[in-house]
Structure 1
Amino acid sequence: MKSNLMIHDVATGTDKLLLSFDDHMEAPNWSPDGTGLVINGGGKLFNVPLDTPKLYAIDTGFAKKLNNDHGISPDGTRLVISDETEAGESAIYTLPIGGSTPRRVTEKTPSYWHGWSPDGQTLAYTANRGEGFEIFTISVDGGQEAQVTHGFDHCDGPDYTTDGTWIWFNGEISGDVQLWRIRPNGTDLQQMTDENSVNWFPHPSPDGRHVLYLAYPAGTEGHPFGKDVELRLMPSEGGESRSLTALYGGQGTINVPCWSPDSTCFAYMSYDR
């Protein structure tokens, strides 16, 4: 199997291959300064500079079992990771952008990071506290977590809008997985898609105009790897979506925020069968 690190230009609709890997690599982030990407594979984290694209390992200290839920702070100075080395289940940690020993943020597990508030003060994540996976937030410095959603069968992929007024996420009710948005304080819940596809991992664009997401075929359970999927774009205030590209992927394709800072492009992973 080959993993392909791709860049999609929204205006032209074209896809550019940046790098291919013989290993299973996942979940690209785009740095806030626009110069590079962060991806993961084999429980490790890597930098990929755009001007000289190759893998540069990031030192994550004791954390050797990273999953694909990682990201970069809005000011570009810190990384956030989700790792199970210490706790046996996924916990959330932060560390300096250049790498170092991670500092634990969430005491409770499992917790899977997905969003960083624009002011850099709050993390959004999905977590199971005994009644299924819902959306939670916590200070980047740790402390008491706050439950944002209630009553879903499963929630995942929370990501903030650039003005911080909404958290987008995918939520499942009675087997139907659609995109939703909610205020960070847990009010004003709104369903944003009503499609036959199984919709995951919404990512609002930095310019506030669009939301990118992953669409699985109808009937898909969970967010598996190895499916024929689409990347779709919809207006940020709701409305009809359009398909940008079809690919073989799913889990690992766009699990985390992946827009370029100028909103013209986004990064994703596709895979050869």
Structure 2
Amino acid sequence: MTKDSGPIMNVTSSTSARERLVTGLARTVLLVAFLVAFLAAVTNAAEHQALPMGEFVSHIDVGNPAQKGSVVYDSQTQSYTVSGAGTNIWFDKDEFHFVYRQMKGDFILRTRADFIGQGTDPHRKLGWMVRSTLDTDSPHINAVVHGDGLTSLQLRRSTGAMTEEIRSELTASDVIQLERRGDRYTMSVARFGQLFEVSRCDEIKLGDEVLVGLFVCSHNPDVIETATFNNVRITVPAAEHFAPYRDYIGSRLETLDVDSGDRRVLFRTTDAIEAPNWMPNSDTLIYNSGGKLFQFSLSERKPLLLNIGTAERCNNDHVLSFDGQRLGISYHAADAGGDSVISTLPSTGGEPERVTMKSPSYLHGWSPDGKHLTFTGQRNDQFDIYRIPVDGGEEVRLTTAEGLDDGSEYSPDGQYIYFNSSRTGTMQIWRMKPDGTQQVQITHDELNDWFPHLSPDGKRMVFLSFSKDIPSEEHPFYKTVYLRSMPIGGGEPHVVAYVYGGQGTNNVPSWSADSQHLAFVSHTD
């Protein structure tokens, strides 16, 4: 028995080992397959659904294009490089790459965009899109620029419906804005430097919660096209019935390269901030918020409260002396019945020294020699520009025309004072000698132009322009406005920034010392 049973037991033992080996190998193969599938799923999710990037949170290929799209966000330049393939965004279905986020309610979308390279198909597309779902046949509307320059508002009203198109008269746009107010969508497009051309479409029901973002479509399934998107701004506008000077929305402190038009957001806050001055050291801004003044370090990117002593309720009319040593402020003084008065103090903070005894007075300019201030004063129900010694004394009236005169600022050589005036019907930019003589109109267009600011090198000025439907003597909050530039002696203005702002955007001198950059404020709720 022992001799016969030995080999049997050995066979049984050997079979068990082989089974364990096979089972172990099978489990290993299954584990490896699981890990490969898991990693693929994680990679796919990371590529298409979970990448926070600036204004957006996700990106995806809609409609399963043959070539995968991608996005790269550069946090230094705050720009997006988007690549996408896809057959088209047309008829009853779409294929493209989409960089997006979810939003509710009203919004304004704006960017400056362009394709990289000549491309393969003249019908390649880039732009903004608002979409109900990520399904290929989803209802949507998009503001699109094609490779051949065609610019249009395209939409699908219901799931699987045919795409409709409203063509703009403008072609080869590179500034693209798409705004939603209820069920109305408005496309505003421009070639950078020019004014907007507008197209509208009503009663587009995509739902209150929608997907909003940038897209690229190559119009060729075998090709990937790439575009860059700069100055991307997603804005939630003020409520329709907000009360000015009582209701406010959040702010973005921005800088602008005036030559290139490139912008950077330095600081975001839910508070209302206004009117940044740029100190001559080029590293510090001063702005007002909530009746107080703040210094903002460009290197540290944070605000610090500025000591203004007994002054309270500062408004957005504050000016630095040309040497940066003194700061002039306007504030609502109790001993003036709450009207605005003017004082000066050290730019690093301190106790204010009263300059104007009469009120209301709103500061705007400081002479290059440091001896005089210019301001807008309301006297006998008339707003005019006045000059006063910086240490106080007799105020001299410089303008006498009917209408509002405001926004006075000295040229860097001290030869002229530039200002805005409504005397010809619309608000336009004027200039005069420091004694009020030789008053000459500088701008001549249908927009309403405010607050001329002269570059330190004396070569050009920038001013704020409201549309012609805004009353000429008003400069309200929370409107789509332009920052425009022109040679200091006159010429054709051109747009350097498209902004949701207005009152407080750049009421005060805001050039950098190198005459290359501006600081300003835009808004979003």
Tell whether 2:443 aligns with 1:201.
no
Tell whether 2:289 aligns with 1:41.
yes
- 2:515 aligns to what? 263
Question: Which segment is superposed worse, 210-219 or 166-175?
Answer: 166-175
Tell whether 2:327 aligns with 1:85.
no
Superposed, 1:1-273 pairs within 5 Å as 1-86=249-334, 87=336, 88-173=338-423, 175-221=425-471, 222-273=474-525
Give the secondary structure class of the aligned counterpart of 1:173. Answer: coil
Does the CA-based 8 Å contact 1:115-1:124 persist in structure 2? yes
Q: Deviations over 1:128-147 (max 9, x none)?
A: 11141111111100000111
Unaligned runs of 5+ in 1: none
Cα separation, 2, equivalents of 1:111 and 1:70: 12
Question: Which segment is superposed worse, 124-133 or 17-26?
Answer: 124-133
Aligned partner letter, 1:194 = H
Cα separation, 2, equivalents of 1:166 and 1:104: 26
Aligned partner letter, 1:240 = E
Q: CA deviation at 1:33?
A: 1.9
Aligned partner letter, 2:488 = S
Identity within the alignment, %: 45
Unaligned runs of 5+ in 2: 1-248
Q: CA deviation at 1:126?
A: 0.5
Aligned partner letter, 2:502 = G
Cα separation, 2, equivalents of 1:98 and 1:257: 18
Indicate the structure (1 or 2) with the bigger Cα radius of gyration.
Answer: 2
Aligned partner letter, 1:225 = F
Q: Structure 1-normalised TM-score?
A: 0.98
Aligned partner letter, 1:84 = H
Cα separation, 1, equivalents of 2:421 and 2:464: 13
Aligned partner letter, 2:433 = R
Equivalent pairs counted in the alignment come to 273
Q: CA deviation at 1:2?
A: 2.0
Higher relative contact order structure (alpha carbons within 8 Å, sequence separation ≥ 6): 1
Cα separation, 2, equivalents of 1:91 and 1:152: 23
Q: CA deviation at 1:85?
A: 2.6
Greater helix share, structure number: 2
Cα separation, 1, equivalents of 2:340 and 2:250: 26
Which contiguous aligned blocks of 4+ residues in structure 1 show a shift greater than 3 angstroms?
none
- 2:202 aligns to what? none
Q: Structure 2-normalised TM-score?
A: 0.51
Q: CA deviation at 1:190?
A: 0.5
Q: CA deviation at 1:175?
A: 3.3
Give the secondary structure class of the aligned counterpart of 1:67. Answer: strand
Aligned partner letter, 2:499 = L
Aligned partner letter, 2:418 = W
Cα separation, 2, equivalents of 1:249 and 1:116: 25
RMSD: 1.0
